[in-house]
Copies of this chain bind each other. A is one copy, B any other.
């Protein structure tokens, strides 16, 4: 699709320095861009290409004097890139309705049957509500009494257990399981006696969940993923966990039962969080770390068990020296022992 530089500037809320009527139809890297392309500079080291680029217009954070290329100035060029790429790659969704190869309970409540797409081999149990513009791919199971908000996309082979409440604009990737029983048992001698898991899962608006995740239902109440949070692949979220707004949980993280995370938390890949903890707002945790205690707001931690990230960095470059250090201390002890003997 061809649009004007003016149209793009409005889309990304940028100031134009140059020809607002020039036409663009694509976004490309600064080195490969040619006439009709937009490009962007999110990293200063690419500023040197500004005069050699073939792009029709360049998006950047601050206006550069003495360049001939049209400039679109906006505080966050990377965000602008994401918005423009979204615009250029958006596929027209033609809603296909409910395929006759799906099995859907008669009392399913559709907000608008005309703008949903339900593929074959989807099973929807009793008393489910489905919002507008929802797409449900093949082999999805949705348990009774569940709710899906507007604009949800549920990819193939997802399992959603009964009574799950999902908000608007939620995307769940293939193979993910929402609402399975939490790991709760009472000891009965050597045996385990199952504790019924009678809570549910609540997923708020604008959440995206990757592929192959497992999110257990609450034991008595709800497991909650709050608005805007993004979850990568193969993440385990145990019963009664709460994850605050706009958090990012990277692949293969595990969060144990009843832990509550604040807003804007970032857990890097393979992190483990023990149960019954409170993790504050804006906490960031490095990859493979183990969180065994509650964490106040704004901390940056790494290591297993986790310590301040700055301390961990020092440990990380010295830990290999421990065997040598032991030898050095032994030598000192020997030296000092000799001295003591001499005295």
Binding site for B on A (CB under 8 A): 76, 78-79, 81-83, 85-86, 89, 99, 101, 103, 119-121, 123, 137-139, 141, 155-159, 161, 171, 173-177, 180-181, 183, 185-188, 190-196, 198, 206, 208, 210-214, 216, 228, 230, 232-234, 236, 238, 245-246, 248, 250-252, 254, 256, 263-264, 269-270, 272, 274, 287-288, 290, 292, 303-305, 307-308, 311-312, 314-316, 318-323, 325-326, 328-329, 332-333, 335-336, 339-340
B251 close to A234 (CB less than 8 A): no
In chain B, what residue has the closest Cβ to A88? B196
A256 close to B269 (CB less than 8 A): yes
Distance A111 CA – B63 CA, assembled complex (angstroms): 56
A198 close to B85 (CB less than 8 A): yes
Residue contacts A-B, CB under 8 angstroms, 28 given: A79-B186, A82-B185, A82-B193, A82-B195, A103-B121, A121-B139, A141-B156, A141-B157, A141-B174, A157-B158, A177-B212, A177-B233, A190-B263, A212-B214, A214-B233, A236-B252, A238-B251, A254-B269, A270-B270, A287-B290, A305-B316, A312-B320, A314-B323, A318-B326, A319-B319, A319-B322, A328-B333, A332-B332
User: With a CB–CB cut-off of 8 A, which chain B residues contact A335?
Assistant: 336, 340
User: With a CB–CB cut-off of 8 A, which chain B residues contact A171?
Assistant: 181
A175 close to B212 (CB less than 8 A): yes
B190 close to A246 (CB less than 8 A): yes
Distance A315 CA – B335 CA, assembled complex (angstroms): 24
